[in-house]
Chains A and B, each alone.
Chain A
Amino acid sequence: MITEHPHDSHGPDKGLMRWVVTTNHKDIGTLYLWFSFLMFLTGGVMALIIRSELFQPGLQLVQPEFFNQMTTMHGLIMVFGAVMPAFVGLANWLIPMMVGAPDMAMPRMNNFSFWILPFAFGLLLSSLFMEGGAPNFGWTFYAPLSTDFGPPSTTFFIFGVHMMGISSIMGSINIIVTILNLRAPGMTLMKMPLFVWTWLITAYLLIAVMPVLAGVVTMMLMDIHFNTAFFSAGGGGDPVLFQHIFWFFGHPEVYIMILPAFGVVSAIIPTFARKRLFGYESMVYATSSIAFLSFIVWAHHMFTVGIPIAGELYFMYATMLIAVPTGVKVFNWVATMWQGSMTFETPMLFAIAFVVLFTIGGLSGLMLSIVPADFQYHDTYFVVAHFHYVLVPGSVFSVMAAVYYWLPKWTGNMYDEALGKTHFWLSFIGINITFFPQHFSGLAGMPRRIPDYALQFADFNMISSCGAFLFGFSQLLFLFIIIKTIRGGEKATEQVWEGAHGLEWTLPSPAPYHTFATPPSDLNDAHG
């Protein structure tokens, strides 16, 4: 039984329990964002341990066993703990406001979706202190390394993954129901902001593939503890089957990590170019095509596993095809900028850097799709460079752009523009120094996931490690900026940005605890 709040003058409860029991989408969005930042810093420390060891040839700081734990945990934490929760946090804060709804469709399930995560990651991180150490088989946990040769903590890793999966699935159900059922009158699907579209599609992807991940880790659990042989040839199984099932999840997963980023950038560029998003409809179709194609290209992660030529050719062609809708999106952003009237505040800097650097990552992805060439790139630092370009100056930059863009709406205060720009430039320079040289070490023959390397790779590794420290420490500046803004700053107006459109910019800044108790009648030109 829902009761109405005819006025939004009552605010949140006081004290810590507020955060534990809240069902408010703004609070939950905040929880997700802070959690993801904490995980980002944790995963970042692991990255710095990795890059410290790789600063020079030889084993200086850590043993290979621990190094493998670091690479594994770094991947798991960044993918499941930093990037995904950050986007869910943005979804929580923004989707209800953008569609003119008072909250998410299922506020209590929303609370539960969040609170599973600290337990899941507490479990995962505690494995570092278990006998045998944390999982050490790569975030992709191939069998039989993970089933027959993994440490005792592998079982806890599996439970952690199950919990994260349940959180994601519940969150996605909530998002879809909210978008489909709670839009303000007059907001047809083709009038929604693109950020809402990209999240709608992402949520469907999550519902489709997170259960498959749950399936594959359950099979792992059964192989380890219950004498089944899904992935062991001796019992009639097949290690390659693991890879097929994992990547059936894994490939859509990477699109799950980038589609919301596309949505963020599609909100920011039109605002700062003071011009409507170019080609809104084709952006929707392109995003849908990318999502559809993401299901049928998984084996491009497995080109060297021994697939017959027909299979290799099919997956090559299908993978190359994804470049087309992705290219359409990039061209549309450029066309939005073209003949606009641009200013370059911090969100715009991050958004433009996203377009340039994500495109570089996408182009190296195109190179990887060429099967015979991939035989030389696969499992080398060329791949590491590719996915870090699409994930760091890709996904992570888009989250940073989103935070700068919407922080004034969330807090009511403008962030310090000079500091924001400084954070941007340090991050931009740091990221490129870290990852660009990795293209070269990969081409020169350096494999992935090694704690020590031959002398010919030394120079680029040293440069890359320096960049990593620059980028890593710059994020402390980001933390400082956010806290400073929460505590005070120049007051933000309702619209905040001259070129901003959409329902959230009709609300006061900071947005009241409850908004859109009654649906709005004017959509404020939400799409584009």
Chain B
Amino acid sequence: MRMVKMRMVNMTDNTKTAVRLLGTAVFMFAFGFLLVPLYDVLCAVTGFNGKTAGQYVSEKAPEIDKDRWVTVQFITNNNAGMPAEFRPKQRSMRVHPGEVNTAEFFVRNPFARTITAQAVPSVSPFHAASYLHKTECFCFEQQQLAEGEALDMPLRFIVDNELPADVTTLTLSYTLFNVSQEALAVAR
């Protein structure tokens, strides 16, 4: 009898432990998904992986460092499935930190239908990424291009005064993705 009683106590213990472990498993599943925004936050705060922040709004006009020159290089790329003509109108610009500059990009839709494009920026070297501020950029939203439409798209940017001294050239690349419905909906 005493044996049976011990076993029944163990059964409750067992269930309690099992439930706790199951809860841990569920938590870890949620944790996996939590890693997604965590990763984005870490990248935005640190500029890791060359990610630039969103639209830049500054409280006051920054001071222009007239003694320093920084070369900003522009590269464009088309992702597979996005054959639009997309190129920078200038390969590079020499700018002063603190100064507002405008660069232009040409895009043309060769399809006989409207497409929706998303430009994704990426900066190299990494530690320069958080010092490139975009006040106006076509990459902030998706762009709708009608059949045959061609556009000049502007990018207004400021290179921060605090840009590390060892950076004399930074490269900004835009990759153009086709995010039109039919491109996304192609069945596996």
Binding site for B on A (CB under 8 A): 2, 4, 105-106, 150-152, 154-155, 169, 172-174, 176-177, 180-182, 207-216, 219, 224-225, 227, 230, 232-235, 238, 240-241, 244-245, 248, 306-308, 311, 518
Contact = CB atoms under 8 A, between A and B. Distances in A.
Given A154-B188, A177-B17, A212-B31, A234 B49 contact: no
Contacts, number: 113
A234 B46 CA distance: 21
Interface residues of B, number: 42
Interface stretch (B153-161, B164-172, B177-185): B177-185
Given A177-B14, A180-B17, A518-B3, A212 B32 contact: yes
B44 to A, nearest CB: 12
Contacts of A241: 35-36, 39
Nearest to A230: B36
A208 to B, nearest CB: 5
B41 interface: no
Which of A4, A173, A176 counts the most chain B CB atoms within 10 A? A173
B175 A216 contact: no
A71 B136 CA distance: 47
Given A152-B188, A177-B21, A214-B29, A248 B35 contact: yes
A460 B184 CA distance: 45
Interface stretch (B4-12, B62-70, B104-112, B144-152): B4-12
A214 B33 CA distance: 10
A212 B127 contact: no
Contacts of B7: 2
B25 interface: yes
Contact of A311 (B13, B22, B36, B48): B48
A181 B32 contact: no
Contacts of A224: 188
Contact of A208 (B13, B28, B39, B185): B28
A234 B21 contact: no
Given A181-B10, A216-B32, A238 B4 contact: no
B101 to A, nearest CB: 25
A244 B39 contact: yes
Contacts of A238: 39, 43, 49
A294 B115 CA distance: 46
Contacts of B50: 306
Contact of A4 (B3, B29, B188): B3
Contact of B4 (A2, A173, A244): A2
B178 A308 contact: no
Contact of B120 (A2, A155, A215, A234): A234
A176 B17 contact: yes
6 contacts: A2-B11, A208-B24, A234-B178, A235-B118, A248-B35, A308-B127
B126 to A, nearest CB: 5
Q: Which 5 A-B pairs have the closest CB atoms?
A: A215-B32, A234-B177, A211-B29, A211-B28, A212-B32
